[in-house]
Amino acid sequence: MWGSTPGWPAVLAEGSVLLRPYKRGDARAWSEVRISNREWLAPWESAPPGPWSEMNSTRAYAYVYQDMRRAARRGDSMPFAVCLREDGQERLVGHINLGNIVRRAFSSAYAGYWVDHRVAGRGVIPTALALAVDHAFGAGGLHRIEVNIRPENRASRRVVEKLGFREEAYHQRYMHIDGSWRDHLGYALTSEEVAAEGGLLARWRRVRA
């Protein structure tokens, strides 16, 4: 059991895109997609030193799963497996986490995400992020979501820009990634900015139409 905090656990869906809590049985699928996407993901992720294959093995997943579950139980995060449903099959293709959740006067979280390069460009992650943000602003009771992205990561920047996140900061030497302290661009969105449009997913549907 994941426990129960505001807005968690939850299952969210739009078309073929499904967000759900991780399962113990996701180990093989998670490991396969992570290992096969090393070149696509490694330059942008903060990770401990060590071989990528070991850090993303089925054995490593057991620790990742427990860490996610503990954080969710504490109310610190909402970690979603991003799945694609096609031809009667469901497969894990990505991840979204609303983390570092602080409530009361701050009522905010940071969003992080990744997606399998084989489905990149199909609107999967923008759809998933819109679902997660709407859920955070609704059942999750949050007011502000922030996303920090390396300036060189144009694919990730396009995700938030399509959804209308504001670029509001430049963080110098913000996070240690790929051997160095890397600058990041800060993007943010508040609940008021999408409320009049019926939510972020509604905004995204209009953009895609």
Q: Is the pLDDT of residue 202 over 90?
A: yes
Structural domain tally of the chain?
Answer: 1
User: Could you tell me the residue range of the domain that residue 84 belongs to?
Assistant: 12-208
Domain assignment present for 4: no
Average pLDDT for 113-141: 97
Q: What is the pLDDT of residues 58-73, one digit of tens each?
A: 999 999 999 999 999 9
Residue 6 belongs to a domain: no
121 pLDDT band, cuts 50/70/90, is very high
pTM of the model: 0.95
Partners of 78 in the β-ladder: 98
pLDDT at 123 over 90: yes
Tell me if 72 is assigned to some domain: yes
CA distance 157 to 153: 6
- pLDDT of residue 17 exceeding 60, the answer is yes
- Residue 105 has a CB neighbour count (10 Å cut-off) of 7
Which tens digit of pLDDT belongs to each residue from 31-84?
999 999 999 998 898 877 788 899 999 999 999 999 999 999 999 999 999 999
CATH number of the domain to which 61 belongs? 3.40.630.30
Task: Please check whether residue 129 lies inside any domain of the structure.
Answer: yes
From the number of C-beta atoms within 10 Å of its C-beta (0-12, 13-18, 19+), residue 50 rates as exposed
Residue 12 · residue 131 · CB < 8 Å: yes
Q: What pLDDT does 179 receive?
A: 79
pLDDT mean across residues, the chain: 94
CA 145 to chain centroid, in Å, comes to: 11
